[in-house]
Amino acid sequence: MLRVGLTGGIGTGKTTVLSIFSRLSAPTASADEIARQLLTPGSSVLQEVQRQFPAHIFQNGQLDRGALRKLIFDSPSERKRLENILHPLVYQSLTDWLARQTAPYCVLEIPLLIETGQQTFVDRILVVDCPEKSQRARLSARDRADRQMIDRVLQAQANRNERLKHAHDVITNDDDEAWLTKQVHDLDRLYRSLDPLSTSRKERPST
């Protein structure tokens, strides 16, 4: 089975792209969704976070995700601490999920695929790309983030050129949803035609 790693900067439209692949019957999984499940109330992972992180990110025993987000983007060391807890478990969950799949290909949404140096976890890297101006507008509208927070979030991630350097395929999310859907449909046909055993991670990005 061909493993496609879907990645891209925050606010580029990865979740929308993943949902379109899902509608085409491609098995999909999201690293962010797994991380959210790991941090559900009462979980051993959440208890570990409580032991290692400041008390103010919890309200009445519940994780305040907004406070956690602010903390990790204000402090690289705290972000690294959280990644050390979550990332091994997320990748193990993805590995377990992959073992149950039988489709010609699957799509794994891993926002920090490049940043974590896990490119070899997948056979092919698909980057969702858009102008930074669009990212900023979407973050401001979606998360009501101010300019300073948006700057911190973007600085914590790989830049566009770094991601594109690793991409086998690129979806450009700079138009309407019909254009986005067409690009996903084109890639769906491509991925169904590829032999995962002969796919090279060193192929040049498609255009």
In this predicted structure, what is the pLDDT of residue 140?
79
**37-51, 63-77, 129-143: which has the minimum mean pLDDT?**
129-143
Domain residue spans of the chain: 1-27+104-207, 34-100
Which 8-state DSSP code applies to residue 203?
Answer: S
Average pLDDT, the chain: 89
* 42 pLDDT more than 90: no
Q: How confident is the model at residue 8 (pLDDT cuts 50, 70, 90)?
A: very high
Q: How confident is the model at residue 198 (pLDDT cuts 50, 70, 90)?
A: low
**37-41, 92-96, 109-113, 202-206: which has the minimum mean pLDDT?**
202-206
> What is the rounded distance in angstroms from the CA atom of residue 171 to the CA atom of residue 180?
7
Q: How confident is the model at residue 49 (pLDDT cuts 50, 70, 90)?
A: very high
Q: How confident is the model at residue 126 (pLDDT cuts 50, 70, 90)?
A: very high
- pLDDT tens, position by position, 148-196: 888 888 887 888 899 999 999 999 998 888 999 999 999 999 999 997 6
What are the Cα distances from residue 177, in Å, to 79, 86, 136, 174, 195? 33, 32, 19, 9, 29
* 48 pLDDT more than 90: yes
- pLDDT tens, position by position, 69-112: 889 888 889 999 999 999 999 999 999 999 999 999 999 999 99
Residues whose CB falls within 8 Å of the CB of residue 60, separated by 6 or more in sequence, listed in order = none
User: How is 98-155 classified by DSSP, letter by letter?
Assistant: HTT--SSEEEEE-TTTTTTT-GGGSSEEEEEE--HHHHHHHHHHHH---HHHHHHHHH
Q: How confident is the model at residue 138 (pLDDT cuts 50, 70, 90)?
A: confident
**What is the CATH code of the structural domain delimited by 1-27+104-207?**
3.40.50.300
In this predicted structure, what is the pLDDT of residue 202?
44
Name the CA radius of gyration of the chain, rounded. Answer: 18
